[in-house]
Amino acid sequence: MLAVGLGDMTPDGSDGVDVTLIRWMLSLKPAERLEQLEAFVDFVHEVRSRNAAEPDTLDLRNVG
Amino acid sequence: MQQNRILSIFETLARHQVEYLVVGGVAAVLGGAPVSTFDLDIVHSTSPENVVRILTALEELDAWYRHFQERRLRPDASHLTSRGHQLLMTRYGPFDVLGMIGKGRTYFDLLPLTVEMEVRSGVRVRVLSLEAQIAVKVEVGGEKDAAMLPLLRRTLEESRRRE
């Protein structure tokens, strides 16, 4: 069984950069990297949009 | 809510044969750096022929200056011939069209420092290399640029290790 210590799961180096993420990104083709970025941006927009809409859905007549 | 579709901007620019290269966060992502960004930055050729092409593309993208939300001010040839930064909003999200970056580096200065990448079948873009991205950020020396340097340097190291 391969033992993995917590030390192995922290970002490499003193600069705090997570090399595992870099290796994952480099394993993708440029088009796939762009897809990842777009998926992330779409997700953030969707969440922001949902939360921005929330106050409109509140029915203040029932408050208090 | 506008959907951010960087690829759609690339396709529009390709359709109009605009001469440009990708810089900024999207260039970092395409180079393999795990960063996120909400806008696409390009440096374009300010030649008169290319300015006509990019204006047509910007019209199709329904581009207007983000600073003037109420007035919907649109870029014209004089803006795009300059070395200034045009910070635009389009139907596909924020899009920054830059006449230069760093200390006066134009499209023609940067062109030899790019790599060509395919972002969709039949759509190829020129992207500023990681080495050049680092050089420009060192040159600028701003806080935001300095913060990105460790990540870009590690990505470059890892990228070279894979070659």
Q: Is the pLDDT of residue B73 over 70?
A: yes
Q: Is residue B38 part of a domain?
A: yes
Distances in whole angstroms, Cα of residue B7 to Cα of each of A24, B70, B85, B121, B149: 21, 27, 21, 11, 26
pLDDT of amino acid A10: 55
- Kindly report the pTM of this predicted structure: 0.85
Domain residues for A34? 29-55
Output the pLDDT for position A41.
86
CATH code assigned at B84: 3.30.460.40
Residue A58 pLDDT: 46
Whether residue A33 is contained in a domain is answered as yes
Tell me, yes or no, whether B135 lies in a domain: no
Amino acid at the residue B55: L
- Give a yes or no: residue B55 inside a domain: yes
Does residue B127 surpass a pLDDT of 90?
yes
Look up the domain containing B62 and give its range: 6-129
Query: Looking at the domain assignment, is residue A44 inside a domain?
Result: yes
Is residue B54 pLDDT above 80, yes or no? yes
Using an 8 Å CB-CB cutoff, list residues of chain A that contact chain B: 13, 15-19, 21-26, 28, 30-31, 33-34, 36-38, 40-42, 44-45, 49
Amino acid at B72: R
User: Would you place residue B69 in the very low, low, confident or very high pLDDT band (cuts 50, 70, 90)?
Assistant: confident
Domain count, chain A: 1
Provide the H-helix boundaries in B47-163: 48-60, 77-81, 107-110, 130-140, 143-162
- Smallest Cβ–Cβ distance between B7 and the set A17, A38, A40 belongs to A38
Q: With contacts defined as CB-CB under 8 Å, which chain B residues touch A19?
A: 154, 158
Domain tally, chain B: 1
**A12 in a domain, yes or no?**
no
B151 falls within a domain: no
Chain B positions touching A23 (Cβ under 8 A) are 158
Most confident of B35-39, B103-107, B120-124: B103-107
- Rounded average pLDDT over A8-22: 72
Chain-chain contact of B34 with A19 (C-beta, under 8 angstroms): no
Buried b (16+ CB within 10 A) or exposed e, B120-148: eeeeebbbbbbbbbbebbeeeeeeebeeb
How large is the average pLDDT for residues B17-30? Answer: 96
pLDDT over 90 (residue B4)? no
The closest CB to that of B158, out of A23, A31, A40, belongs to A23
